A and B are shown apart, each in its own frame.
Chain A
Amino acid sequence: MKVPYSWLKQYVDIDCTPQELEEKLFGCGFEVEELIDLGGEISRVVVGVVTKCEPLEGTHLFVCQVDCGEEYGHGLQILTGAPNVYQGMHTPAALDGSTLPGGVKIKAKPMRGLPSNGMLCSGEELGLNEDLYPGSEVYGLLDLPKDTVPGTPIQEVVGLNDYIFDISLTANRADCNSVLGIAREVAAVLDKPLKMPALDYTCSDYKHPDLDIRVEAYDLCPRYLGHYVRNVTTGPSPAWMRRNLALCGLRSISNLVDITNYVMLEIGQPMHAFDMDTLESCQIIVRRAKEGEAITTLDGKEFTLSPANLVICDGNKPVALAGVMGGLNSEIKDTTTQLLFESAKFARDSIRKTARSLGQNTDASSHYEKGICEYTTELGMARALHLIQELGVGEITASAFDCSGGAPRTGKAFTATFSGINRILGIDVPREAVLDILRRLSFEVKAEGDTMEVVAPRWREDIEIGEPDLAEEVIREYGYDHIVPTFLPSAQVTTGGLNPDQQRRAKLKRTMCGQGYFEASTMAFYADSDLDALHIPGDSPLRKVIRIINPISSNLTIMRSLLTPSMLNVVVNNLKKGNNAGRVFELSNIYIPKELPVTQLPEERLHLGLAAFGQEEDFFRMKGDLEALGEAFGLTFDYERASDVPFLHPGISAYLICNGEKVGWFGKLANDVTEELDLPKDSRAHQNIYLGELDFQTLMAHAAPCLKYCPVSEFSCVRRDLALVADEAVTCGQMVETMKKACPSLGQVELFDIYRGANLGEGKKSMAFSLRFMPCDHELAPEEVDRFIKKILGDLNHRLNVEIR
């Protein structure tokens, strides 16, 4: 919110610099986002008096001698092309080395061979407009009053020696959404009296015979004030009003409209004025719009309304969209002779919903959304009427209306204790300091002993529960630097740290890092198209997804039911960036609705997603990674072909089975899916991408709860190698299983080579295994091992037609 320093000073005698005030406001909870020095960009521009002015023949230029005072020189020659220059003119002179708004730099340099020591300026060149300084938009030089003194910095003359405080308000302090609101805080923090703006006015005896106002929806409009003003004369506003509006970024329109805007900025109350000449009847009704009812607002936009929208009607039709914008049909015009002022409190939420749903956000709606209290509503009306009287632009009649939903017109009252406040803060704020602070903040306090009866000011609707509120008020004025850091001197000892599940997650992540995987962090949502890309059929349970009602973009619309699309996106994005190999994992939730549409919280299941890509990768590397992961948790896996996973290669993919239960799958991305990746056509075909996804909870259900020592045999292991020739169709798993069944003493079997060659014959492969026999109760004799080998070979040959090579 923008608050001009000069305007603020009308209500408080500020005896510190704007910079000091900024610090003080910051300390009591009002962050000044920007302190704008209005004339800060201007330097070395001073009042100059044109003492001599001669046209330069053959050009449109004038050669001027300019008196810029003692400091800058009495007879500076400056050339100007402005047609309105004249001898005796007081005008801004930008001297050599000066700067103008927008970073424009002015240097002395010859024009047409004649030295020119700077530039004479127009109002616009100084960043002025007609509202900030009358005469600024005249074509040519700014003609300053004759009482201005040569050499005076121009900021002081045209009112640019001013500051704007751009203040960010916290959501609870809607009462400060005005110049007066900030002035109250400034007065409190500086401990100065607040000079209230004049609110007095005198009504004539005239009473409109027919005018009546009725509120039909007090839930949306708890308070509605109306006052009839007649014999109005429209015209321009006085310079002080135009200037203040301009400083806050509003353009002057006409005195009547300006009054409504001025009151909004000053008091914080959005006002509206209806042209009474245009109302069809004098029956003003505040009601919900009828379904399909239409209104055209001041800006010419047409809206079709519903009962969710509150409207002001003239008996027949809506004449204003309450709290948002007036209707075009009742707009104040130059011809307006009588008007009805509206000052109302509308329900915050209703205005917000209307403004959002119609896409019509206005200054008024923004004020209502933050919250208006009825005190402000009363103040706003009084101030508007006072301004009518002060400007002498209308007759304030006796037709005044006050429709109230019956809310009390007193501040919140409660009991609090000094000790309670100090217990929250943890320091002892002296009683006198507490009382002084509350007085400055306009709280009424009756203190007796430790207890005080407190009435909050009416505008402080944020005060809710007493002591904690007061503690905050006290400490923000007393100063947070009084807080003495302590370290729970009275608290009980607690044991902290990660629980076993959290520790397992951390261990899983460390294990994956050890296998060369980088942890990714992807969005928890994606789009249907991400599931389409993986050829997941429409009837798959993975399509039972939770939809976001108000997604931020079309590619983030559903909560993910699988991590794999996210992991694949990471791979594709890396390939696009030229990272042609890598490994990533993520341990994140997927979301499973209990029913659709969602009526209760869904199940969130932690999944481990894996992706590895690049020419080095193959099925067995990822399999090895998963086995390493298994080892970390005391798990061993069995494998089953995963030919029904639609996005995996049917021959290079597997389910991971743990004690008979599927815990996940992994494998190569299917050829047809790879072909469709969002990558340059020529690079798609040779992409080598492996993906995996495991259900963390299911996996961990099989994990060894804790490690147990298993006695190591005191007898030596015996190692033998076997090279075997088998049919292509025989799998390694079958052979290992057969070998283990054949000999209980066979501890480990490891494949270390596969060979295929013409010498083996068509459809044959040679597989070399390393066998480790582990005796449990005696040293193995070589003959005994020979017997084992014989039995193993016999079984292999018998069951799988495998021969020794």
Chain B
Amino acid sequence: MEEKINALRAALEQDRAGVTNSSQLSAFWQKYLGKTGEVSGLTKALREVPKEDRPAAGKTINLFKTWVEEQYQALAAQIAKKELEEKNRAEAVDITLPGKKRSQGGLHPITITKNEIVNVFSGMGFEVYEGPEIEDDAHNFTRLNVPKNHPARDMQDTFYVAEDIVLRTQTSPGQIRVMDAQKPPIKVLVPGRVFRSDSDATHSPMFHQMEGLVVDKGITLCDLQGMLDKFCQELFGADVRTRLRPSYFPFTEPSVEIDVSCFECGGKGCSLCKGTGWIEILGGGVVHHKVLENCGIDPSVYSGFAFGIGIERIAMLKYGINNMGLLFENDLRFLEQFKG
């Protein structure tokens, strides 16, 4: 028996070297550990061993069987590893081939900018109101303290669709509509399309504005600057400052132009700010008493401020767009730059 086992051990060690894949591994198993394999052959042969030697022989056979199984396990692990490596190698891809994607679209830069502005003011408690784009003369002009024959009407070249119906020239009529419907406290934004009969590199017959209105007790010019400081810092960076300077709008008194310190050069002067260190960003002022009165709000009790932002202007500043026309050409090579 001992000899037989030694012979088998030698044969197995020889066979083992020849096993390189799973089918050979399976044959190996069949040969040694299968039902009719060598190990079970040894067990059968045990019958021929004299009875008194059987326990010792059985033990030897069992030891041998365990050894064979170990050999098999080691071999199986080795082959599994090798085959996995081969499979992985075969399946490997050229990771530099182009990626496959479901192409993502994108919002228009005007919408992105509008959303950004709305987000800043929403956090300060502003609602959003959108009024009609075709307006009557009363809302667009008269009730905003721009009576007929007022020189301010010349500031804006108006499109008319009837004698007293216009394409709104500003989002300011939204102030009137909000104050008609709602009493203070009021904090509202009025974004929207506006129309003026003007077209060149810096003007489009249609463009977007965002009106802001706050009416409550004790609102002052200081609050206007305070709020717009915060707005500009959110939009252009924490270290920008604002500057007020006198201006004129019929529906605010005092009226101001608000400049922001140049976020490109920090106020030293560069091509963006034309060397002045300041960028004109929006107009505003203290809501005119007549406008409040026109909406049934008592100016001796309430006061407010209003401001108007040109959304295109902000978008152009933010993205470095130098021609307003690009915003309305809808060239996909342009739009695709504003994904996500």
Residues of A within 8 A of B (CB): 26-29, 170-174, 347-349, 352, 369-371, 423-427, 464-465, 468-469, 471-472, 475-476, 480-481, 483-499, 502, 506, 509-510, 512-525, 546-553, 556, 559, 570, 573-574, 577, 579, 582-585, 589, 591, 597-602, 604
B residues near A424, Cβ cutoff 8 Å: 220-221, 254, 286, 303
CB–CB B160/A425 < 8 A: no
**Given A496-B121, A506-B115, A518-B105; 10 other pairs, CB 8 A cutoff:** A472-B254, A476-B254, A481-B243, A485-B226, A487-B227, A488-B216, A499-B127, A509-B111, A519-B107, A598-B161
A residues near B248, Cβ cutoff 8 Å: 29, 170-173
B residues near A489, Cβ cutoff 8 Å: 218, 223
CB–CB A516/B136 < 8 A: no
B133 at the binding interface (Cβ < 8 Å): yes
Chain A interface SS verdict (over half): loop
Q: Which of B111-156 contact A (CB under 8 A)?
A: 111, 115, 118, 121-128, 130, 132-136, 148-149, 151-152, 154-155
A residues near B222, Cβ cutoff 8 Å: 425-427, 483-486
A28-B246, A171-B154, A598-B165 known; A483 vs B221 contact (CB < 8 Å): yes
Q: How far is the CB of B205 from chain A (nearest CB, A)?
A: 5
Q: Which of B128, B230, B330 contacts A499 (CB 8 A)?
A: B128
CB–CB A514/B104 < 8 A: yes
B31 at the binding interface (Cβ < 8 Å): no
Pick out which of these stretches binds chain A: B38-46, B76-84, B88-96, B332-340: B332-340
CB–CB B220/A574 < 8 A: no
B59 at the binding interface (Cβ < 8 Å): no
A residues near B106, Cβ cutoff 8 Å: 513, 518-519
B12 at the binding interface (Cβ < 8 Å): no
B253 at the binding interface (Cβ < 8 Å): yes
CB–CB A496/B125 < 8 A: yes
CB–CB A502/B108 < 8 A: no
A549-B162, A601-B136, A604-B134 known; A494 vs B105 contact (CB < 8 Å): no
The contact sample of 20 A-B pairs, CB cut-off 8 A, is: A29-B248, A171-B154, A349-B148, A369-B151, A370-B151, A475-B246, A480-B246, A490-B218, A492-B216, A499-B128, A513-B104, A514-B105, A518-B335, A521-B108, A522-B328, A522-B330, A525-B206, A552-B197, A552-B198, A579-B332
Find the residue from B136, B199, B223, B303 having the highest chain A CB count within 10 A.
Answer: B223
B residues near A352, Cβ cutoff 8 Å: 154
Find the residue from A29, A369, A496, A520 having the highest chain B CB count within 10 A.
Answer: A496
Q: Which of A29, A427, A493, A579 contacts B331 (CB 8 A)?
A: A579
Q: How far is the CA of A178 from the CA of B218 in the complex (A)?
A: 39
Nearest B-chain residue to A591, judged by Cβ: B134
B102 at the binding interface (Cβ < 8 Å): yes
B residues near A552, Cβ cutoff 8 Å: 159, 197-199, 205
A residues near B160, Cβ cutoff 8 Å: 548-550
CB–CB B245/A26 < 8 A: yes
CB–CB B133/A589 < 8 A: yes
Q: Mark B257-294, 1 if CB is under 8 A from A, else 0.
A: 00000000000000000000000000000101110000
CB–CB A480/B290 < 8 A: no
A26-B245, A547-B161 known; A468 vs B126 contact (CB < 8 Å): no
A472-B246, A480-B256 known; A523 vs B328 contact (CB < 8 Å): yes
B255 at the binding interface (Cβ < 8 Å): yes
A residues near B103, Cβ cutoff 8 Å: 516
B residues near A468, Cβ cutoff 8 Å: 253-254, 286, 288-289
Q: How far is the CB of B55 from chain A (nearest CB, A)?
A: 55
B217 at the binding interface (Cβ < 8 Å): yes
Q: How far is the CA of A19 from the CA of B276 in the complex (A)?
A: 13
B167 at the binding interface (Cβ < 8 Å): yes
CB–CB A471/B286 < 8 A: yes
A residues near B221, Cβ cutoff 8 Å: 424-426, 471, 475, 483
B residues near A170, Cβ cutoff 8 Å: 247-248
Q: How far is the CA of A476 from the CA of B257 in the complex (A)?
A: 12
Q: How far is the CA of A494 from the CA of B215 in the complex (A)?
A: 11
Nearest A-chain residue to B222, judged by Cβ: A426
A residues near B331, Cβ cutoff 8 Å: 573-574, 577, 579
CB–CB B132/A601 < 8 A: yes
CB–CB A573/B286 < 8 A: no
A residues near B330, Cβ cutoff 8 Å: 520-522, 570, 573-574, 584
B171 at the binding interface (Cβ < 8 Å): no
CB–CB B135/A512 < 8 A: no
CB–CB A488/B104 < 8 A: no
A28-B246, A589-B133, A604-B133 known; A348 vs B107 contact (CB < 8 Å): no
Nearest A-chain residue to B227, judged by Cβ: A487
CB–CB B128/A584 < 8 A: no
Q: How far is the CA of A514 from the CA of B104 in the complex (A)?
A: 5
Find the residue from A348, A521, A552, A556 having the highest chain B CB count within 10 A.
Answer: A521
Q: How far is the CA of A502 from the CA of B135 in the complex (A)?
A: 21
Nearest B-chain residue to A476, judged by Cβ: B246
Q: Which of B281-328 contact A (CB under 8 A)?
A: 286, 288-290, 303, 327-328
B3 at the binding interface (Cβ < 8 Å): no
Q: How far is the CA of A27 from the CA of B245 in the complex (A)?
A: 6
Find the residue from B104, B122, B246, B331 having the highest chain A CB count within 10 A.
Answer: B246
Nearest B-chain residue to A523, judged by Cβ: B206
Q: How far is the CA of A210 from the CA of B288 in the complex (A)?
A: 52
Q: How far is the CA of A458 from the CA of B67 in the complex (A)?
A: 120
A348-B151, A490-B218, A519-B335 known; A480 vs B134 contact (CB < 8 Å): no
Find the residue from A173, A483, A487 having the highest chain B CB count within 10 A.
Answer: A483
B16 at the binding interface (Cβ < 8 Å): no
Find the residue from B134, B186, B199 having the highest chain A CB count within 10 A.
Answer: B134
CB–CB B197/A550 < 8 A: yes
CB–CB B332/A488 < 8 A: no
Q: How far is the CA of A38 from the CA of B138 in the complex (A)?
A: 47
CB–CB B253/A465 < 8 A: yes
CB–CB B303/A496 < 8 A: no
B residues near A493, Cβ cutoff 8 Å: 125
Nearest B-chain residue to A556, judged by Cβ: B205
A residues near B162, Cβ cutoff 8 Å: 549, 597-599
CB–CB B134/A423 < 8 A: no
Nearest B-chain residue to A492, judged by Cβ: B185
CB–CB B245/A29 < 8 A: yes
B residues near A604, Cβ cutoff 8 Å: 132-134
B211 at the binding interface (Cβ < 8 Å): no
Q: Which of B110, B242, B288 contacts A521 (CB 8 A)?
A: B110
CB–CB A523/B205 < 8 A: yes
Q: How far is the CA of A465 from the CA of B159 in the complex (A)?
A: 30
B169 at the binding interface (Cβ < 8 Å): no
CB–CB B125/A495 < 8 A: yes
Find the residue from B108, B217, B221 having the highest chain A CB count within 10 A.
Answer: B221
B residues near A573, Cβ cutoff 8 Å: 329-331
CB–CB A494/B127 < 8 A: yes
Q: Mark B236-249, 1 if CB is under 8 A from A, else 0.
A: 00000011111110
CB–CB B303/A602 < 8 A: no
B residues near A464, Cβ cutoff 8 Å: 253, 290
Q: How far is the CA of A360 from the CA of B185 in the complex (A)?
A: 50
CB–CB B332/A471 < 8 A: no
Q: How far is the CA of A523 from the CA of B133 in the complex (A)?
A: 12
Q: How far is the CA of A492 from the CA of B187 in the complex (A)?
A: 10
Q: How far is the CB of A752 from chain B (nearest CB, A)?
A: 19
A residues near B121, Cβ cutoff 8 Å: 496
Q: How far is the CB of B68 from chain A (nearest CB, A)?
A: 44
Q: How far is the CA of A506 from the CA of B108 in the complex (A)?
A: 12
Q: How far is the CA of A596 from the CA of B162 in the complex (A)?
A: 10
CB–CB A496/B134 < 8 A: no
A residues near B149, Cβ cutoff 8 Å: 347-349
Nearest A-chain residue to B165, judged by Cβ: A598
CB–CB B223/A426 < 8 A: yes
Q: How far is the CA of A704 from the CA of B154 in the complex (A)?
A: 48
A residues near B133, Cβ cutoff 8 Å: 524, 589, 591, 604
CB–CB A497/B108 < 8 A: no
Q: How far is the CB of B80 from chain A (nearest CB, A)?
A: 33
